[in-house]
């Protein structure tokens, strides 16, 4: 943790999350991972602690905290289990934050109290089979007939698709490729024509549920539109700025967990009658890992501070996401290497960090997309 950002409130939040993770998450992580079990009841407990509505104002039942606290929560949870960190991030920064940022007062009053306490679990749907990085090429369509939109199509790689009670989804209501042709809708579980597919079997993040959503002549009333028709794409892009901070914080926690288990192992494991930490190659590798983790946190917390201050941070959040996610992959890889043969077994935690880390360079914009965003932003600096 960076002392320049730590204060009394953050220290209290950190200690609370750390104790929660140690008590309720750590004993179960490998069982959940092996079975690809999504522990719904755990998220109800997280809701009781205020960790599922971190950014939601108290008037809507949330914790009323900022991005520095949010980063700390994700960091500490992901250090123990990336899967749980991912689900906390998706619920807070995507579904819940979309409603908080763009919904009407009536919609906020209806949905936020249930989401902030995890009485309801949230999902967010943008990605489709043929449109991942090409977010403007949506094929899921909504045709207005009277007071209802008739929605047909599907979404894929959706976190909490099966277990969620409410989802925010982006639907094409205009021409394909038109930035003003996408509308955001709130969809509740059980609405006719709305269903979820089979759970996707994944390499990592296995305890975080991922599946597809399907729309078969699903009738959505105009009251389910968030904001105005045609604003969904712009809303999604603005939301993803904050979402990149989430994945960066998730990456930070995974990297920190992988580093700490490698550091501990390097002080326990002996070869040639010496701790392996005493070998320069191991010590230097750990030094590089520690340095990149601290650099990642600086980038993540800078982006979080700008977000809290209401300052545009598109470049900073993309840089944080890019660097922290690539660091998570590199550090987890080195952690396996330091563990040697044991790193390739499930008896040690290194292999799980290794598997979980890779998603961070893919989800909510690949590393290539982050570089595209950064290059576009730095291009504006040319006079």
pLDDT at 136: 74
Q: Band the pLDDT of 43: cuts 50, 70, 90.
A: very high
Query: What is the number of alpha carbons within 13 Å of residue 65 lying toward its C-beta?
Result: 22
pLDDT at 5: 74
CA quadruple 256, 258, 264, 270: dihedral positive or negative?
negative
C-alpha 122/C-alpha 137 separation (Å) is 24
Q: Is 215 exposed, middle or buried (0-12, 13-18, 19+ CB in 10 A)?
A: buried
Strands (E), 40-79: none
Q: Is 118 exposed, middle or buried (0-12, 13-18, 19+ CB in 10 A)?
A: buried
C-alpha 122/C-alpha 107 separation (Å) is 14
CB atoms within 10 A of CB 109: 12
pLDDT mean over 231-235: 95
Residue 359 has pLDDT above 70, yes or no: yes
Task: Mean pLDDT check: name the lowest of 12-26, 81-95, 96-110, 122-136.
Answer: 122-136
**Angle at the Cα of 377 from the Cα atoms of 169 and 171, rounded to 5 degrees:** 15
φ, ψ dihedrals at 269, nearest 5°: -75, 135
Percent of the chain clearing pLDDT 90 (strictly above)? 93
pTM exceeds 0.75, yes or no? yes
Per residue in 104-161, pLDDT (tens digit) is 999 999 999 999 999 999 999 999 998 877 777 899 999 999 999 999 999 999 999 9
φ, ψ dihedrals at 149, nearest 5°: -95, 130
Residue 64 has pLDDT above 90, yes or no: yes
Catalytic residues: 364
C-alpha 123/C-alpha 165 separation (Å) is 8
pLDDT mean over 68-75: 98
Strands (E), 180-251: 182-188, 194-196, 210-221
Per residue in 257-304, pLDDT (tens digit) is 999 999 999 999 999 999 999 999 999 999 999 999 999 999 999 999
Per residue in 173-214, pLDDT (tens digit) is 998 878 799 999 999 999 999 999 999 999 999 999 999 999
Asked if residues 297 and 2 have their Cβ atoms less than 8 Å apart, the reply is: yes
Residue-averaged pLDDT of the chain: 96
Q: Band the pLDDT of 35: cuts 50, 70, 90.
A: very high
CA quadruple 14, 29, 357, 238: dihedral positive or negative?
negative
Residue 382 has pLDDT above 90, yes or no: no
pLDDT at 2: 66
Residue 3 has pLDDT above 70, yes or no: no
DSSP designation for 359: G
C-alpha 116/C-alpha 120 separation (Å) is 8
pLDDT at 130: 87
Per residue in 316-353, pLDDT (tens digit) is 999 999 999 999 999 999 999 999 999 999 999 999 99
C-alpha 185/C-alpha 85 separation (Å) is 25
């Amino acid at each position: 943790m960076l002392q320049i950002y730590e204060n009394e409130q953050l220290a209290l939040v950190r200690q609370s999350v750390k104790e929660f993770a140690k008590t309720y998450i750590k004993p179960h992580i490998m069982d959940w991972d092996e079975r690809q079990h999504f522990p719904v009841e755990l998220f109800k407990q997280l809701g009781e602690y205020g960790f599922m509505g971190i950014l939601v104002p108290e008037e809507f039942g949330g914790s009323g905290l900022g991005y520095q606290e949010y980063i700390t929560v994700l960091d500490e949870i992901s250090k123990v289990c990336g899967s749980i960190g991912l689900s906390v991030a998706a619920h807070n920064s995507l579904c819940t934050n979309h409603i908080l940022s763009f919904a009407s007062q009536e919609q906020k009053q209806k949905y936020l109290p249930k989401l902030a306490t995890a009485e309801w679990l949230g999902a967010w749907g943008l990605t489709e089979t043929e449109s991942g990085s090409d977010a403007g090429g949506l094929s899921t369509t909504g045709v207005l007939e009277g007071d209802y939109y008739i929605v047909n199509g599907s979404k894929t790689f959706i976190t909490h698709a099966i277990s969620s009670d409410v989802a925010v989804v982006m639907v094409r209501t205009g021409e394909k490729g038109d930035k003003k042709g996408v509308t955001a809708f709130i969809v509740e579980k059980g609405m006719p024509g709305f269903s979820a597919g089979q759970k996707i079997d994944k390499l990592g993040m296995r305890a975080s549920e991922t599946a597809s959503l399907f729309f078969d002549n699903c009738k959505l009333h105009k009251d389910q539109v968030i904001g105005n028709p045609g604003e969904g794409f712009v809303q999604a892009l603005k939301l993803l700025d904050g979402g990149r901070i989430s994945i960066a914080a998730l990456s930070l926690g995974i990297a920190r967990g992988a580093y700490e288990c490698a550091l501990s192992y390097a002080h326990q494991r002996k070869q040639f009658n010496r701790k392996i930490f005493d070998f320069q190659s191991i010590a230097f590798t750990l030094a590089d890992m520690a340095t990149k983790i601290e650099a990642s946190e600086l980038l993540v917390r800078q982006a979080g501070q700008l977000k809290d201050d209401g300052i545009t941070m598109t470049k900073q959040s993309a840089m944080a996401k890019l660097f922290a996610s690539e660091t998570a992959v590199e550090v987890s890889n080195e952690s396996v290497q330091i563990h040697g043969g044991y790193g390739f077994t499930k008896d040690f935690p290194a292999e799980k960090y290794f598997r979980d880390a890779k998603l961070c360079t893919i989800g909510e914009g690949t590393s290539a997309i982050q570089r595209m965003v950064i290059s576009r932003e730095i291009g504006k600096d040319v006079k």
